[in-house]
Structure 1
Amino acid sequence: MKRVLLKLSGEALAGDKKTGFDEATCLEVAGQVKKLVDQGIQIAIVTGGGNFWRGRTSETIDRVKADQIGMLATVMNCIYVSEIFRYAGMDTEVFTPFTCGAFTTLFSKDAAVKALETGKVIFFAGGTGHPYFSTDTGAVLRAIEIEADAMLLAKAIDGIYDSDPKVNPEAKKYDEISIQEIIDKKLMAVDLTASIMCLEHKMPMLVFGLNEENSIVNTMSGKFTGTKVTV
């Protein structure tokens, strides 16, 4: 794989703290990504916002406004993580689908691909820029737009299970599953909109636990222990 999109869950970035940033976790991610960039792999990154905001759990705030807060949470995440990456020796650029003053660059496919080709690690913040679309859907959309070879989903759990392993200790992990099976079984590894986009545009996914040692490098070097999602 020459070009991939890495989706980092907000909760995974928070580490054991469950909220905000865990700098040690972010530095560990940066170190792994640096190894891949040094090998010539082009990497785009999307972060979730769950370490700051989970608006769908609120009944007091309008859904559109809740989603807008979530978009801004991902902008904060991407700016923070991109700075950690710069500290680790990488050149970065943050793209958003809406203007954020001088904080970010307005997204276009041409600008994003050019940045990748010059060796930058690029970040896609702000989701799709519209409510009712999750960061999963935003990540799939950007992966398709930049013609990534695959999506890497780094989560707080180590793959896709037949039920929630936090609730059911007997939950079984899939080593490999098709995106059609995920849709049919309503497994919600990613949301339904994102799943259908992966199906229609044949975007494979590799789902793994971020907190496992060298999980990103291992995923790219064939030492994969998560769930492979085929199309």
Structure 2
Amino acid sequence: AMPELCESFSQRQATAYMNQGKVVIFAGGTGNPFFTTDSAAALRAAEIGADALFKGTQVDGVYSADPKKHPDAVRFDRISHAEVIKRGLTIMDTAAIALARENNIPIIVYSIHEKGGFGEILRGGGRCTVVADN
């Protein structure tokens, strides 16, 4: 970790921060070559009992196909983890989606290119897809 910028991950410290009402943000991977950054995010979310996992990406949600290649692709407002896996939708790797599903963690997929979009989503608005089984 870069001490002047952030701390190395500690489940105990992350939980302590959350108990103080602070928001914990994870960046990077696990350092394990077999874990993608998506799987690392899902693992950390599961470890701390996160309410949700936010996936900032190139598009504003989960689509029925790659919207850059298929202009007629449909964006989902909401879709289940199981349906994402069944359809082979590639917004995250299957292991990450399965880990989030096993731990009942919704995944919020939004565009990193939408100025103010993340804040808007945190306030309950914005354009995104919620991946959740309930």
TM-score exceeds 0.5: yes
RMSD, aligned CA: 2.0
Q: Identify which range, 123-132 or 221-230, moves more after superposition.
A: 123-132
Q: In the TM superposition, what whole-angstrom CA distance separates every residue of 1:149-198 from its partner, at most 9, and x where no partner exists? A: 11111112111111111112221111111000000000021101001111
Question: Which one-letter code corresponds to 1:145 in the other structure?
Answer: E
* Number of the residue aligned with 2:67: 165
**Offset of residue 142 of structure 1:** 0.5
Q: In the TM superposition, what whole-angstrom CA distance separates every residue of 1:10-52 from its partner, at most 9, and x where no partner exists? A: xxxxxxxxxxxxxxxxxxxxxxxxxxxxxxxxxxxxxxxxxxx
Bigger helix share: 1
**Offset of residue 134 of structure 1:** 0.5
Gaps of 5+ in 1: 1-74, 84-92, 96-106
Equivalent position SS for 2:34: coil
Q: How does 1:97-136 map to 2 (within 5 A)?
A: 107-118=9-20, 122-136=24-38
**Offset of residue 123 of structure 1:** 4.5
Q: Identify which range, 124-133 or 148-157, moves more after superposition.
A: 124-133
* Number of the residue aligned with 1:175: 77
Q: Percent sequence identity over matched residues?
A: 36
Measure the CA separation in 2 of the matches of 1:178 and 1:120. 29
Query: Residues 109 and 186 of structure 1: is their aligned pair in 2 closer, same or farther, counting only changes over 3 Å?
Result: same
Query: Residues 220 and 121 of structure 1: is their aligned pair in 2 closer, same or farther, counting only changes over 3 Å?
Result: closer
Gaps of 5+ in 2: none
Question: Which one-letter code corresponds to 2:31 in the other structure?
Answer: G
* Number of the residue aligned with 1:186: 88
**Residue 205 in 1 paired to residue 118 in 2?**
no
**Offset of residue 122 of structure 1:** 4.1
Greater gyration radius: 1
Name the count of aligned residue pairs: 132
Measure the CA separation in 2 of the matches of 1:124 and 1:223. 23
Q: In the TM superposition, what whole-angstrom CA distance separates every residue of 1:75-98 from its partner, at most 9, and x where no partner exists? A: 6xxx5xx84xxxxxxxxx332xxx
**Residue 224 in 1 paired to residue 126 in 2?**
yes
Measure the CA separation in 2 of the matches of 1:196 and 1:219. 23
**Residue 94 in 1 paired to residue 7 in 2?**
yes
Bigger strand share: 1
Give TM-score scaled by structure 2 length.
Answer: 0.86
Which is bigger in relative contact order (C-alpha 8 A, separation at least 6)?
2
Query: Residues 132 and 182 of structure 1: is their aligned pair in 2 closer, same or farther, counting only changes over 3 Å?
Result: same
Q: Identify which range, 111-120 or 211-220, moves more after superposition.
A: 111-120
Q: Is the contact made by 1:208 and 1:226 (CA closer than 8 Å) also made in structure 2?
A: yes
Give TM-score scaled by structure 1 length.
Answer: 0.52
